[in-house]
A and B are shown apart, each in its own frame.
Chain A
Amino acid sequence: MKKVINIPLGSQHISLLEPVRFQFKTHNEKIVEVGADVGFVHRGIERACVTQFEWKKLPYVVARVCGLCAITHSLSFTLAVEKMLEFESTRRIDYLRMLMVELDRIHSHMLCLSHTAENAGFEAMFMEVMAAREPVMDLQEAISGNRVQFDYIAIGGVHRDISPETAKEVVATLDALKPKIERLLEEFSKNWSLSLKYRGVGMLTYEEACIYNTLGPLARAAGLRTDVRLESSDLPYEEVGFEVVLEKGGDIHARNMVRLYEILNSIEMCKNIVQNLPEGEHLLKIKGKPKGEAIVRLEAPRGELMYLVRGSGKNFLDRVRIKTPTFSGIPAMVEIFKGSEYADAPAILASFDPCMSCTAK
């Protein structure tokens, strides 16, 4: 029997952290068509950036686009402005910035993993991952002064220097986190009941990943070698031991594995950064007003983030364009939903790690 049933998911749903609305059309249990409404969180930040706030305040405004990857937002804007002002940062500034971006990636990936486990029906795993995530939040608080929304990046450097005691604490906490991640790695790959929900579900092939220009962990799980940390020379990632993580499967399981291995890689990088921290100033003076145009790309936890900034030497900029990772990922997400069972939809959705406040700005 081919009867079409309409099932809405959202805008408020227990499996959703943020409002997004999907309209599924199903044949019995199989999804055949998907409509997505992503504009629930549209606040109008791009316009406010050019009419309401002066350019020096903007790193703190664009951080409020998204609470999870706030640091990458303010960092990419700052890098774009610094390019226009021809500012040369010191190595210590670069290292401190990288440290916070990588800590942010660790906690964001762990939140996504716990959410994926919860949506697959494994409540105990959700609690375990959230408990393991707390020490990372404490580290962020020790370094920057706040758990989330730490306005750490300033134009011309970072707001706080790291003390030797905090540096020791970073190494000790990350050393304690590593065995927990290794245990999770084993649990996520060997647990039989989780594999029922993860393996072969929500498939994205290499070919589809290329067609739909997917980014971040979604693409790397399908075998597409793309990572802006590799493709950009704004931050010296090679010096601290960055490696691209690639998987072949393209299903939810592969995405989880990509995230777990990336956490391990980020832990290594953070330890390298803290142990080889160069000497120098952490905040330098800047002169002038931004003039010209600059494009900056940076790897946020969910994929590539792009800022295009244009200014003409005034207090207000001419244009700030924010291209966020989930924004480019939505056509691929809609494609993945087609052909899968409706009961798997929450787990698939969580495995994308969608960020709607990024998408709608």
Chain B
Amino acid sequence: MKKIETTLERVVKTIEEFYDRYEWHFLTLNGIDLDDGKIELQWIFAKYGAKDETVVFYCITDYETEVPSIVKLIPSAIMGEREVVDMFGLTIEGIEGKLYLSDDSLKTPLKTMGLGGCEV
């Protein structure tokens, strides 16, 4: 597993330079709640036919900043982005959440995890 740090402004450009659809496939976009009101976003890729080659681009950001979308580059990223919007209450440009939750479900269930308890 190779971890590469990036920032929100650079992430689309970095992935555009890195991604070749015949060589790599996109696994998912993942969010991890850090305790101090920050979130770590991870874009995970794996190589076709190579042993144990995964590359993780990650960046640490807060909940308010808008996250750029990579759906135009990788159409299958839409599921991961919708899930992150649903689970953490982030805003991603052009992405609507509403994948799993109903109107009276817990809002943003994975967001304030580290702080003990969450919004209802």
Give A contacts to B, CB under 8 Å.
38-39, 42, 44, 46-47, 50-51, 210-213, 215, 224-226, 230-233, 294-295, 297, 304, 306, 308, 310, 318-319, 321, 323, 327-328, 330-332, 360
Instruction: Beyond A46-B87, A226-B25, A332-B76, list 9 extra A-B contacts (CB 8 Å).
Output: A47-B109, A211-B21, A211-B75, A233-B51, A306-B44, A308-B30, A321-B30, A323-B27, A328-B27
Q: Is the CB of B49 within 8 A of A231?
A: yes
Does B1 interact with chain A (Cβ within 8 Å)? Answer: yes
- Known: A213-B26, A232-B52, A306-B27. Contact between A328 and B79, CB under 8 A? yes
In the complex, what distance in Å separates the CA atom of A44 from the CA atom of B108?
A: 11
Q: Is B78 an interface residue (CB 8 A)?
A: yes
Q: With a CB–CB cut-off of 8 A, which chain A residues contact B46?
A: 231, 297, 304
Kindly provide the distance from the CB of A1 to the nearest chain B CB, expressed in whole angstroms: 32
A213 B74 Cβ-Cβ under 8 A = yes
B interface bracket (residues with beta carbon within 8 Å of A): 35 or more
Do the beta carbons of B25 and A232 come within 8 Å of each other?
Answer: no
- CB of A238, distance to nearest CB on chain B (Å): 11
Interface contact B32-A360, CB-CB below 8 Å: no
Q: What residue in chain B is nearest A206 (Cβ atoms)?
A: B22
CB–CB B76/A213 < 8 A: yes
| Main DSSP-derived SS at the B contact region | mixed
Question: Chain B contacts of A215 at CB under 8 A?
Answer: 25
Cβ of B106: which chain A residues have Cβ within 8 Å of it? 44
Nearest A residue (CB) for B74: A213
- The A interface, classified by DSSP as helix, strand, loop or mixed, is mixed
Residue A360 contacts which of B26, B75, B100 (CB distance < 8 angstroms)?
A: B100
Complex A-B: 21 CB contacts under 8 Å: A47-B113, A50-B113, A211-B21, A211-B75, A212-B75, A212-B76, A213-B26, A213-B76, A224-B48, A231-B50, A233-B51, A233-B52, A295-B44, A306-B27, A310-B32, A319-B33, A321-B30, A328-B27, A328-B79, A332-B76, A360-B100
Complex Cα distance, B87 from A46, in Å, reads 10
Report if A231-B76 is in contact (Cβ < 8 Å); known contacts: A39-B101, A323-B28.
no
- Interface membership of B54, Cβ < 8 A: yes
How distant is the Cα of A42 from the Cα of B33 in the complex, in angstroms? Answer: 20
- Residue in B closest to A42 when the chains form the complex, CB atoms: B100
Nearest CB of A to B24, in Å:
9
Nearest residue (CB) in B for A318 is B32
Is B47 part of the binding interface, using a Cβ–Cβ cutoff of 8 Å?
yes
B1 closest partner in A (C-beta) = A295
- B21, B44, B74: the one within 8 Å of A308 (CB): B44
In the bound assembly, the distance between CA atoms of A202 and B53 in angstroms comes to 32
> Which residues of B lie under 8 Å from residue A225 when comparing CB positions?
48-49
In the complex, A231→B52 CA distance in Å? Answer: 6
A318 to B50, CA, bound (A): 29
CA distance A144 to B25 in the complex (A): 35
Whether, in the assembled complex, B99 has its beta carbon less than 8 Å from a beta carbon of chain A, the answer is yes
B20: nearest residue on chain A (CB-CB)? A210
CB pair B79–A327 under 8 Å, yes or no, is yes
- Are A230 and B79 interface neighbours, CB within 8 A? no
CA distance A349 to B50 in the complex (A): 31
Bound: A166/B22 CA distance, A? 44
B114 to chain A, nearest CB (A): 8
Q: What residues on B are CB-neighbors of A212 within 8 Å? A: 75-76
**With A and B bound together, what is the CA distance between A328 and B51 in angstroms?**
21
Tell me the nearest residue of chain B to A297, going by C-beta: B46
CB distance from A209 to the nearest CB of B (A): 10
Contacts of B80 in A (CB 8 A): 323
Residues of B within 8 A of A294 (CB): 1
Q: Is B12 an interface residue (CB 8 A)?
A: no
Cα(A47)–Cα(B88), bound, Å = 12
Cβ of A359 to closest chain B Cβ, rounded Å: 8
Would you call B113 and A51 a contact (CB within 8 A)? yes
Give the CA-CA distance A321 to B87 in the complex, in Å.
Answer: 12
Nearest-CB distance from B103 to chain A (Å)?
Answer: 12
A226 adjacent to B30 (CB under 8 Å): no
Check B110 for interface membership: any CB of A closer than 8 A.
yes
How far is the CB of A322 from the nearest CB of chain B, in Å? 10
